[in-house]
Structure 1
Amino acid sequence: MANTEFQSEAKAIDNLAASYEELRKEIGKVIIGQEDVVRAVIISLFSNGHSLLVGVPGLAKTLLVSTIAEVLDLDFKRIQFTPDLMPSDITGSEILDEDRHFKFTPGPLFANIVLADEINRTPPKTQAALLEAMQERSVTVSGVRHKLPAPFFVLATQNPIEQEGTYPLPEAQLDRFMFNIPLDYPSYEEEINVVKGTTTVQNYELRHVLTSEQILHYQQLIRKVPIADNVLEYAVSLATKTRPNTERASDAVNNYISWGAGPRASQYLVLGAKCHAAIHGKYSPDIEDVRAIAKYVLRHRIVRNYKAEAEGITEEKVIEGLF
């Protein structure tokens, strides 16, 4: 890379790191705590990936997503997934207009940020329509392809405790999500601040930090970030170690995992590490950057067997054993 080109790329990464700090501060006006969650969501957005938020009700998942959309000055739509939701309800449909011509009416998927609330409450047919849009960045209605706006980012939520009458996402569909982000209860001090802030009259003035054009530019920038061979090999090695009965698999993986992560995990580990480095002002990721995002990438891509469930071995524990 020419020196002048490196200087311009380095300046762009400096700008990205500064933009991230501004984003964090603006979102922090509304969202108390959850700093790891906010960071993971922004990393997946800048990496052009989608995320799955897993947490019990009342942890401000919807507020978090709408706040991020507002700070980024992006078009935001929320879809409440229910058992009677049809694919056309989210993709849009063709209707007969007054001139008796079919006209396409876009559904709520036509937004920059889409919150798919409780995605496991809707049947597989509707889930598949959403996941096709996530992969192809377009929807097909009556044989005609309609491109979705850019940037396009899906945040889906799942409630981990209430599983009756739900349609769990198959592993192949879970693989479409770059990150699986768990939300935990706030600390005692954070909850006091949340209650103080939500039981009084408070008006938050949120500033628009980035435009959609800047986000698209940063998504391209992340792909240009150089990565050393040893860091890339570490990321690929981490993904391959999750596959039971292969030469790199550890005893814990062979004992407790029935299915490991595919090549998409390696790609997302590299992209996520590049973005994690960039938002912290580093021009190239190291192994620590890969480890920082590894659980988000691998958690939903490994399948525990009955022995792991019986012994209470979590996905996180298996992943930690790979470092």
Structure 2
Amino acid sequence: MKYKNFIAAFALLGILSSCDKEEDITADGTIKPVVSADATSFSVTEGDVITVTLTTNTPYKTKMDFKLQQVSGSANRQDYASSGTETVVDDGWGLIGDKIVLPAYATSTTFQISTKFDVFKEGSETAVFALLSAGNGVGLVDEGSQKITVTIANKTSNDFYTELDFSASAPNAHGNIEGGTFMDAAATPVSHAWCDIDLDLEVYDSGFNIVDDSYTSCPESIILPSTLPDDTYYIVPSFYSMNGISTPSAIKIPAILTSGKMGVFSETLDMSEVWNTKLTAPDYQIVRELEKVGNTWTLKDYNTGDIIASGRVRSLIDVIKARKAGGKK
């Protein structure tokens, strides 16, 4: 009985060893190349770009596919971007991540992780990534390179940022960020992205002169540099046009205004109750007054009454309409 058990155990060991070897062997019977990263731990500040170099111990005749996938940490995919190609649902690459490719016959390749400098005041955040063999599975990842950790410190600036987002973007089931849509009034309704309509963002000074504008993006955004003269400024988002699209009924436009001193303070204003797809455009809204003294920016709500009197608001809107009468410039 002991002899038979020994034979069975030996046979099982042989099967397991065979499986391990098969995982390390390519389809043509050669041993799979192994890649290693030149660094796996990074401490950076928002806005910094990390470059990772992958080097293989053996160049191979076909490309090698790898995947960078965040597995833990307080950061999320909105805090960084990879130079790899983002995976999508049903592409066979599993959970969301980024495809990294080592070209055929190459000894090395690089990829970047770009951290994003945003307006929000945040504590230090961490993103922990797994570097995995994926796709065609030709190459393996050295054990010491399978985990990449990035710690991201908050960055501050004396500049002021304002953004009008009407994309209604949200992650899908896989995690990819997709813009929101609405249906038009055609006999056979067609779906349109919210970014297909025209919303604008402008900033005026106390003399009602335009300081900066954003007309062609989605979201629209403006950075006011700290070098601007001390003054009172007005943040003016507007609904300019449906760009010829009509809807069967009034649909609320999902506009959100975010403003603040970058990395120091921020405020988000939900404007989804302000405009709808049946509203006569253009329509301008003076929503915030911004007072600058040195490097201090004070953001105020015009609705408080003692900040911007109704007559003055009316004057500014008249100036804006007159300026736009011939179209945006």
Structure 1-normalised TM-score?
Answer: 0.27
Higher helix proportion: 1
Larger Rg: 2
Higher strand proportion: 2
Structure 2-normalised TM-score?
Answer: 0.27
